[in-house]
A and B are shown apart, each in its own frame.
Chain A
Amino acid sequence: MGDGRLVITRLNQSMVATFEGAIDAGELGDLVNSLFEAQARQNVDSVVFEVSACEVMDLDEFAELQRTVRAVEWLGLRCVVAGLRPGMVAYIVSSGVELGTLRTALDLELALEELTVNCDE
Chain B
Amino acid sequence: MSQSLDAKLLLERFDISPEDLALLKRCGETFSLSDKIQSVVDEFFEWLGEQPEFSIFFNSQETVERVKRLQKVYWEEFFSGVVDQNYIDHRVRIGEIHAQRDVPNLTYFAAMAHFNKLYSDAIISCEFSHDDTSRAFTVFDKLRLLDMLVTSDQIAQFARRRVIESGKAMLEMSTPVTSIWDGILLLPLVGIVDSQRTQDIMEKSLSRIAETRAHMFVMDISGVVTVDTAVANNFIRITQATRLMGCDCIISGISPSVARTLVELGVNVGEVRTTATLRDALQLALASIESTERGGRRRAQGDALPR
Contacts across chains A and B counted by CB atoms under 8 Å: 70
Q: Which residues of A contact B202 (CB under 8 A)?
A: 90, 93-94
For A120, give the chain B residue with the smallest CB separation: B295
Q: In whole angstroms, what is the CA distance A94 to B200 when docked?
A: 12
A89-104, CB < 8 A from B: 89-90, 92-94, 99, 101-102, 104
**B246, A114: Cβ atoms under 8 Å?**
yes
For B203, give the chain A residue with the smallest CB separation: A90
A51-103, CB < 8 A from B: 80-82, 84-86, 89-90, 92-94, 99, 101-102
Of A99, A110, A121, the residue contacting B244 (CB under 8 A) is A99
**A93, B237: Cβ atoms under 8 Å?**
yes
Residue total for B at the interface (Cβ-Cβ under 8 A): 24
**How many residues of A sit at the interface, in one of the four size bands?**
20 to 34
**A106 interfacial contact with B, CB 8 Å:** yes
How far apart are B199's CB and chain A's nearest CB, in angstroms?
Answer: 7
Q: Which residues of B contact A37 (CB under 8 A)?
A: none
**A84, B237: Cβ atoms under 8 Å?**
no
For A94, give the chain B residue with the smallest CB separation: B237
Residues on B facing A (Cβ under 8 Å): 199, 202-203, 206-207, 209-210, 213, 237-238, 240-241, 243-247, 271, 291-292, 295-296, 298-299
24 sampled A-B residue pairs with Cβ under 8 A: A80-B246, A81-B244, A86-B203, A86-B209, A89-B206, A90-B199, A90-B241, A92-B241, A92-B244, A93-B244, A94-B199, A99-B240, A99-B244, A106-B209, A106-B245, A106-B247, A110-B246, A111-B246, A113-B295, A113-B296, A116-B299, A117-B292, A117-B295, A117-B299
